[in-house]
């Protein structure tokens, strides 16, 4: 039987109220580790949730990879590009490609009797994945987009609806300017809201057929192709494979294909999200430092207050190494209890926010209206293991205090 572990357990469970100093020290050490762990759990869940929400909205509008006419990157208006069936088949065969959809964009202006607003009309067809838009609908419904006919129905954002003072079922005119002025009358079929102002204030969805006619293009000409992947962590590799596949094909009109990942299209947003990781590492380091400091202080107080006990144990034949292990076991009991309390507090706060949205944010600044949460159990386990290991390791040095305690002097110590 491991008598060091047995004695450490008895010391920890003992309700010796005469210990006027060590009891508060144990409570402070437990509280320090518990609160530090809770802060670390909440911080990681907030950052994961925030990154997931923002990235899902950016990719919901722009997909993971966009294939466009190279000239479109240098001009204000998108230039037409064709996607012959052999090219489409080869892109679909690229490992990791999940879904592909063609689209058309045309800049214009929406006008009512009271207001007007410049917009980007995005035409999409039957193949368009409406899952993202459906999850952010606030009124009406998503039109049945078509690439064969014009329904004159549009989907606009809540921001545009407020600026134009319109709602579902209202009609308004859209004007498009090239060599002349083209006007179309649309009916609002639905209203969405994502809180991504960069997109909400501009994008209006309608039929692919209608957008192609307004741009003066043929039915096989598009602004580009959107490609979604099945694993975002493999985005760079899939983007490279898509670019290599495009090199083997030529546009029938002589245009050049250009493939860009969502990271390259919106580098400012992804750089901002990367900064959040740095903030989390800073918080983790600070919380671990606080936990380590409280444990070192607590263990020193516990050892010094039990000087008499250490002397008796040495007189009975206990070695310095055995006593160090005894107090390390004692520290592990404190840390273990603190981890349980910290997990309960941290996960409780995360669950409360996740299901109630209690803490709100300014959606114009943070792109979400409440603090998002996402639990990753692997990260939670790693945080617990890391906290436990670091807290135990920092106790090794203060445990050497027992080596300087002499039995003859310590037994008389009060």
| pLDDT single digits (tens) 349-379 | 999 988 888 888 877 777 788 888 999 999 9
Coil, strand, or helix at residue 348? Answer: helix
Number of residues that this document lists for the chain: 414
Tens digits of residue pLDDT in 125-145: 899 999 999 999 999 999 989
Mean pLDDT to the nearest integer, 173-187: 85
What pLDDT is attached to residue 303? 72
On the question of pLDDT at 237 being above 60, the answer is yes
Most confident of the ranges 250-254, 299-303, 394-398: 250-254
Assign 158 a pLDDT band (cuts: 50, 70, 90).
very high
Answer yes or no: do 119 and 47 share one domain. no
Mean pLDDT to the nearest integer, 271-280: 83
On the question of pLDDT at 405 being above 70, the answer is no
Per-state percent for the chain, helix, strand, coil, to nearest 5:
55, 20, 25
Higher pLDDT, 406 or 264: 264
285 within some domain: yes
Distances in Å between the Cα of 132 and the Cα atoms of 59, 168, 250 are: 9, 19, 32
Dihedral, 138, 141, 145, 150 alpha carbons, nearest 10: -110
Closest CA to 124 of 20, 7, 226, 228: 226
How far is residue 136's CA from residue 404's CA, in Å, rounded to a whole number? 67
Mean pLDDT to the nearest integer, 279-300: 82
What pLDDT is attached to residue 72? 83
Mean pLDDT to the nearest integer, 291-314: 74
66 within some domain: no
Answer yes or no: do 273 and 240 share one domain. no
Tens digits of residue pLDDT in 23-55: 777 788 888 888 888 989 998 998 888 888 888
Residue ending a domain, among 220, 254, 288, is: 254
62 within some domain: no
Tens digits of residue pLDDT in 64-74: 999 998 888 88
Distances in Å between the Cα of 156 and the Cα atoms of 160, 162, 376 are: 7, 10, 34
How far is residue 297's CA from residue 35's CA, in Å, rounded to a whole number? 17
Strand partners, 171: 187
On the question of pLDDT at 22 being above 70, the answer is no
Assign 7 a pLDDT band (cuts: 50, 70, 90).
confident
Answer yes or no: do 125 and 169 share one domain. yes
How far is residue 35's CA from residue 343's CA, in Å, rounded to a whole number? 9
**How many helical (H) and strand (E) elements, i.e. helices and strands, does the chain have?**
16, 12
Residue ending a domain, among 203, 223, 254, is: 254
On the question of pLDDT at 400 being above 50, the answer is yes
Check if the beta carbon of residue 302 is closer than 8 Å to that of residue 330: yes
Answer yes or no: do 174 and 88 share one domain. yes
64 within some domain: no
Mean pLDDT to the nearest integer, 13-20: 53
Closest CA to 174 of 187, 163, 162: 187
Answer yes or no: do 25 and 116 share one domain. no
- Total structural domains in the chain? 2
67 within some domain: no
How far is residue 281's CA from residue 339's CA, in Å, rounded to a whole number? 19
Answer yes or no: do 227 and 307 share one domain. no
Answer yes or no: do 14 and 105 share one domain. no
Answer yes or no: do 406 and 292 share one domain. yes
Answer yes or no: do 230 and 101 share one domain. yes
Tokens of 396: 């090794």
On the question of pLDDT at 403 being above 80, the answer is no
The residues, ordered by sequence, that sit 6+ positions from 245 with a Cβ below 8 Å of its Cβ are 87, 90, 91, 94
75 within some domain: no
The residues, ordered by sequence, that sit 6+ positions from 18 with a Cβ below 8 Å of its Cβ are none
74 within some domain: no
Closest CA to 102 of 196, 188, 218: 218
On the question of pLDDT at 79 being above 60, the answer is yes
On the question of pLDDT at 402 being above 80, the answer is no
1-5, 14-18, 174-178, 261-265: the lowest-pLDDT one: 14-18
On the question of pLDDT at 21 being above 60, the answer is no
Residue ending a domain, among 254, 288, 305, is: 254
Q: What DSSP character marks residue 133?
A: H
How far is residue 266's CA from residue 66's CA, in Å, rounded to a whole number? 12
Assign 203 a pLDDT band (cuts: 50, 70, 90).
very high
Q: Report CA 87 to chain centroid distance, whole Å.
A: 34
What pLDDT is attached to residue 17? 43
How far is residue 262's CA from residue 63's CA, in Å, rounded to a whole number? 7
Answer yes or no: do 242 and 308 share one domain. no
73 within some domain: no
How far is residue 302's CA from residue 315's CA, in Å, rounded to a whole number? 20
How far is residue 332's CA from residue 388's CA, in Å, rounded to a whole number? 8
Assign 260 a pLDDT band (cuts: 50, 70, 90).
very high
Answer yes or no: do 311 and 215 share one domain. no
Other CB atoms within 10 Å distance of the CB of residue 38: 21
What pLDDT is attached to residue 408? 54
- Which residue bears the tokens 């690439």? 147
What pLDDT is attached to residue 95? 93
Other CB atoms within 10 Å distance of the CB of residue 40: 25
State which residues form the domain around 31: 3-57+269-410
How far is residue 56's CA from residue 63's CA, in Å, rounded to a whole number? 9
Higher pLDDT, 397 or 110: 110
Computed over every residue of the chain, the mean pLDDT equals: 84
Dihedral, 27, 31, 32, 38 alpha carbons, nearest 10: 160
Answer yes or no: do 212 and 344 share one domain. no
How far is residue 88's CA from residue 90's CA, in Å, rounded to a whole number? 5
């Amino acid at each position: 039987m491991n008598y060091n572990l047995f004695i450490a357990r008895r010391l920890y469970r003992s309700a010796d109220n005469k210990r006027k100093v060590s009891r508060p020290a144990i409570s402070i050490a437990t509280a320090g580790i518990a609160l530090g762990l809770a802060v670390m759990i909440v911080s990681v869940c907030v950052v994961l949730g925030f990154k997931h929400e923002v990235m899902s909205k950016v990719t919901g509008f722009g997909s993971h990879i966009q294939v466009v006419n190279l000239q479109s990157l240098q001009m204000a208006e998108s230039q037409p590009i064709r996607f012959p069936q052999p090219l489409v088949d080869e892109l679909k065969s690229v490992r990791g490609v999940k879904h592909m959809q063609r689209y058309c964009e045309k800049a214009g202006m929406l006008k009512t009797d009271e207001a007007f607003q410049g917009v980007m009309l995005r035409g999409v067809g039957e193949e368009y994945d409406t899952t993202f838009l459906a999850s952010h609908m606030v009124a009406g419904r998503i039109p049945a987009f078509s690439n064969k006919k014009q329904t004159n129905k549009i989907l606009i954002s809540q921001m545009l609806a407020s600026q134009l003072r319109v709602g579902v079922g209202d009609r308004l005119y859209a004007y498009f300017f090239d060599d002349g002025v083209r006007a179309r009358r649309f009916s609002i079929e639905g209203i969405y809201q994502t809180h991504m102002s960069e997109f909400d204030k501009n994008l209006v969805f309608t039929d692919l057929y209608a957008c192609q006619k307004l741009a003066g293009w043929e039915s096989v000409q598009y602004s580009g192709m959107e490609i979604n992947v099945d694993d975002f962590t493999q985005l760079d590799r899939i983007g490279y494979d898509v670019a290599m596949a495009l090199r083997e094909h030529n546009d029938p009109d002589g245009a050049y294909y250009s493939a860009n990942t969502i990271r390259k299209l919106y580098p400012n947003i992804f750089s901002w999200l990367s900064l959040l990781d740095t903030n989390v590492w800073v918080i983790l380091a600070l919380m671990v430092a606080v936990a380590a400091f409280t444990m070192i202080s607590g263990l020193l107080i516990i050892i010094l207050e039990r000087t008499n006990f250490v002397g008796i144990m040495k007189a009975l034949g206990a070695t310095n190494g055995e006593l160090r292990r005894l107090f390390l076991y004692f520290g592990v009991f404190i840390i273990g209890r603190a981890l349980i309390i910290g997990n309960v507090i941290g996960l409780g706060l995360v669950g409360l926010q996740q299901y109630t949205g209690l803490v709100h944010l300014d959606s114009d600044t943070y792109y979400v209206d409440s603090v998002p949460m996402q639990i990753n159990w692997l990260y939670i386990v790693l945080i617990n293991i890391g906290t436990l290991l670091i807290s135990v390791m920092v106790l090794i040095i203060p445990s050497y205090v027992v080596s300087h305690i002499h039995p003859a002097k310590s037994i008389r110590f009060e």
